[in-house]
Amino acid sequence: MPVKARRSCVSADISKHVIWINSTDYLSTIRALKIHKILVDEFKYVDSGFLEFGRRGFGVSISVTGYSTIKELWADYNEAKELSKSIATTEAHETEAKELIIQLHGEGAEL
């Protein structure tokens, strides 16, 4: 049975004080890392140090924490996501994305 194609995307799950940034594959993990960095560096969120399996595909879930309302967390996430589109992908982004995926999914993970 053929494997169903999976859309490469970045999404978020937001609850009280936590933004989980989710990816589905290597390319979306690069985008997730850019969003994470913007939230930490520009919006002054705290890197919560959590890394988990993504719910779909070979992605990851990384998180930040901040003490704002859920509405403000969504607004900051959406702004960071837009800002991330203007940031060129560097070798450092690519290397970090590969390391995170391999750390969670092993050497055989799709990159």
Q: pLDDT per position in the chain (111 positions), as tens?
A: 444 556 788 999 999 899 999 998 999 999 999 999 999 999 999 998 777 766 667 788 999 999 889 999 999 999 999 999 999 999 999 999 999 888 887 776 666
Q: Show the tokens assigned to 9.
A: 């995307």
Side-chain half-sphere exposure of 4, counting CA atoms within 13 A: 4
Prediction pTM value: 0.88
Contact present, 109 and 101 (Cβ < 8 Å): yes
Q: Which residue has the tokens 């560097």?
A: 90
